[in-house]
Structure 1
Amino acid sequence: MSDSTPVWFITGSNTGFGDAIARAALASGARVVATARRPETIQLSDDNILALHLDVTDPESIEAAVAAAIERFGRIDVLVNNAGHGLVGALEELSEKQIDDVLAVNLRGVMRVTRAVLPTMRAQRSGTIVQLSSVGGVIANPGHAIYATSKFALEGMSEALAGEVGPLGIRVLIVEPGPFRTEFAGRSMSFADPIEDYATTPAGALRARFRDQNGVQPNDPERAAALILEAVADPNTPLRIPLGPEAIDRIRTKLTGQLADLEAWAPRGADTRF
């Protein structure tokens, strides 16, 4: 195996998108650092796989995993920040611990792992950082306030990061999937204790929608993984890459409406000069 063979470093590699991306990268001939909180649950075994413990809320485990990856393979070419989980509940229904737990994984954890890998990519003057966001990073559904908070913030951080590291030869890609048949709506989803007043509102309806869609989502995570590999290989891939027709349609509708609102308000909003 040549030292120039790409090395992928993937968080949350034991299930869902993480597992699918790890398998696709391995099949492409890449070397893969597959990480998870419980590495014994990673379902991959190959000479080009390094399975490691990594808890995105534990800085020491992050530093140890990055150091082990460099020691084994000498470089990191693609970082995939995939680890995350969801939380359904109206903002008032959420506990402080639930809010902290989502932000610790979906936002702070991504920042920690990214910051730990960046020195290696800077030294290489190359690399791609793939941030697993969501259609929920563009559109905030009632009942998904803290999840949307984490993903909106992830997108803002990643957009700024792209401008910071681009001159150093490092790319950032923000992946915005719609409903894919992963464990996201199942064991990766938590639910706040309900308040009865929200039961008949859109926030309450979101609970039933997630429970009903688990296991029957229309999109294939293996196809998503293949598209992510294509996006990484293509130097012309845009910053944001929505995946699935539902995500594309909903994002188009949101942005079209937002642009219309901007144009409607612009004559008054621009009248601010001294």
Structure 2
Amino acid sequence: MTQFQHGGRVWLITGAGSGFGQAFARAALAAGDTVVAAVRRPETVAALTEEFPDRVDAVRLDVTDAAQSEQAVKDVLQRHGRIDVLVNNAGYGLVGAVEEVGEQELRDIMEVMFFGALRLTRLVLPAMRERRSGTVVQVSSMGGFLSFPGVGAYSAAKGALELASEALAAEVAPLGIRVLILEPGAFRTEFAGPALHGSAVIEDYRATVDPVRTGLAASHGEQPGDPAKAAAALITALDLDPLPLRLPLGADAVGAIRAKLAAVGADLDRHEQLATDTAF
């Protein structure tokens, strides 16, 4: 492996071969940092490694492989001495009603976007604790804060990661470690294209799920969000003090999250008496 200069921050980014992951990598490189691009197929970051041979390190990593994850973190720490920013970005979309999603499909999506992300988080924390420094960036989605027909399994995985990360943020704050949850809306990535999976179809759910299934696929390449601008927002956010716990990305995400908060608030107001009249 190439010996790297140790100036700037050292990033470990999963799913760096395309979409948000590649945009985050390029933004970090533009900021003068070093990027460890963790991907299942290193050839997907060949252009990056050729363009920045001294500051990009491609690492083969399937985030569902525990042994591979442990070795990857160990190798990064050995070569670079530290991990300043972990970005848990690897993931994919899955469309299907809760009843349509198969047991294995549900377990697979949780393995990638919940168990895999938390595993890497836990693996980098000891070194971050030792240095009393570091930032964990969890790439969630507006679908990690709210849900709608057809994305129950996806939202469950992202939502689980969000809640674990909310607890994590409070746990590690006294240790000098920060946590940032990104909640993008619709961006021009591979999410609605090659990275979108579909479950088996049950006719009774066509009315509620088909609009999402067809709408997502039709949106591919036409989404309003620019991944490069999302990456620029991440770079800016990392300099904020205090760092926000959650950062929605895109007007659609901001609007949807505001609507969810308003709906929850309205429910609380409407049923407060029923909810609170429960004490001895």
What is the TM-score when the length of structure 2 is the normalising length?
0.95
Q: Is the 8 A contact 2:178 2:243 kept in 1?
A: no
State the distance in 2 between where 1:53 and 1:64 align. 10
CA positional deviation for 1:51: 0.6
State the distance in 1 between where 2:56 and 2:7 align. 16
Equivalent residue, structure 2, for 1:23? 26
2:80 is aligned, of 73, 89, 111, to 73
State the distance in 2 between where 1:14 and 1:94 align. 27
Question: Among the aligned pairs, what percent are the same residue?
Answer: 51
Amino acid at match of 1:231: A
Equivalent residue, structure 1, for 2:106? 99
2:168 is aligned, of 150, 155, 161, to 161
Q: Kindly tell me the number of residue pairs found equivalent between the two proteins.
A: 273
CA positional deviation for 1:268: 2.1
Amino acid at match of 1:79: L
State the distance in 1 between where 2:269 and 2:159 align. 23
Equivalent residue, structure 1, for 2:200? 193
CA positional deviation for 1:139: 1.3
Which deviations, in whole Å up to 9, do the C-alpha atoms of 1:122-150 show, x marking residues without a partner? 11101110000001011111111100111
Amino acid at match of 1:50: D
| Other structure's SS at 1:5 match | coil
CA positional deviation for 1:2: 6.4
CA positional deviation for 1:197: 1.6
Tell me, yes or no, if structure 1 residue 34 matches structure 2 residue 33.
no
Equivalent residue, structure 2, for 1:258? 264
State the distance in 1 between where 2:7 and 2:37 align. 19
State the distance in 1 between where 2:219 and 2:88 align. 24
Equivalent residue, structure 2, for 1:86? 93
1:227 is aligned, of 214, 228, 233, to 233
Gaps of 5+ in 1: none
Amino acid at match of 1:251: I
**Pairwise CA RMSD:** 1.1
| Other structure's SS at 1:131 match | strand
Amino acid at match of 1:259: G
Which deviations, in whole Å up to 9, do the C-alpha atoms of 1:14-63 show, x marking residues without a partner? 01000000010011000111110111211312201111011110011111
Q: Is the 8 A contact 2:10 2:34 kept in 1?
A: yes
State the distance in 1 between where 2:90 and 2:153 align. 16
State the distance in 2 between where 1:241 and 1:143 align. 24
Runs (4+) off by over 3 Å: 1-4
| Other structure's SS at 1:91 match | coil
Amino acid at match of 1:87: L
| Other structure's SS at 2:57 match | strand
For residues 209-248 of structure 1, the aligned pairs below 5 Å read: 209-248=215-254
State the distance in 2 between where 1:41 and 1:185 align. 19
What is the TM-score when the length of structure 1 is the normalising length?
0.97
Equivalent residue, structure 2, for 1:177? 184
Q: Is the 8 A contact 2:5 2:55 kept in 1?
A: no
